[in-house]
């Protein structure tokens, strides 16, 4: 039975503060990679020790000594399956880390682009304000000239 996960909390964090979301995700991915690597090292150690334990148990238990080749083949097959699962998990975690790093870089580029756009907008509004003030100064100068020259002959 699978459980449903509510991802709206993560999506809210992504919208509120994307940099902290991506850095937290990168930190979590690195931790998952470390844990997966440690589990793989532990499994390899137990795999080597288990082979010796199987050899030592063969004379004690007659059902192992009678079919030692089958037991050893099954043990090696289970080690191979465990290694393949571990390699797949490491590949998945490294892919998630790469995806998170790309997401953080993309967010940085988006922020840089937004900053450039905002800077251009501020420069344009400052230039417009300066032009408007110049026009107001000229308008005030002409209005202060006194009477209209409409009927000047």
Q: Give 55-77 pLDDT, tens digit per residue.
A: 787 777 777 778 778 888 888 89
Residue 149, pLDDT > 70, answer no
Could you tell me the CA-to-CA distances from 63 to 22, 86, 110, 121 in Å, in that order?
A: 55, 31, 66, 82
More confident residue, 107 or 52: 107
pLDDT at 1: 46
User: 8-46 pLDDT, tens per residue?
Assistant: 555 566 667 888 899 999 999 999 999 999 999 998 898
Q: What is the pLDDT of residues 77-92, one digit of tens each?
A: 998 999 999 999 999 9
The answer to whether the CB of 27 falls within 8 A of the CB of 77 is no
CA 75/CA 65 separation, integer angstroms: 14
Q: At what angle do helices 18-57 and 8-16 cross, to 10 degrees?
A: 140
What pLDDT is stored for residue 59 in this prediction?
76
Give pTM, 2 decimals: 0.63
135 by Cβ neighbours in 10 Å (0-12 / 13-18 / 19+) ranks as: exposed
**What is the rounded distance in angstroms from the CA atom of residue 46 to the CA atom of residue 94?**
24
């Amino acid at each position: 039975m699978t459980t449903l996960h509510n991802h709206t909390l993560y999506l809210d964090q992504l919208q509120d503060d994307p940099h902290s979301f991506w850095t937290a995700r990168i930190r979590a991915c690195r931790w998952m990679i470390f844990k997966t690597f440690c589990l793989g090292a532990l499994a390899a150690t137990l795999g080597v020790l288990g082979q010796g334990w199987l050899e030592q148990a063969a004379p004690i238990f007659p059902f192992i000594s009678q079919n030692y080749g089958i037991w050893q083949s099954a043990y090696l097959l289970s080690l191979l399956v465990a290694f393949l699962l571990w390699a797949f998990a490491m590949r998945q975690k490294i892919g998630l880390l790469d995806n998170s790093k790309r997401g953080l870089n993309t967010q940085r580029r988006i922020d840089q682009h937004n900053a450039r756009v905002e800077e251009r907008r501020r420069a344009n509004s400052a230039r417009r304000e300066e032009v408007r003030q110049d026009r107001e100064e000229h308008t005030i100068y002409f209005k202060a000239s006194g009477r209209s020259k409409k009927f000047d002959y």
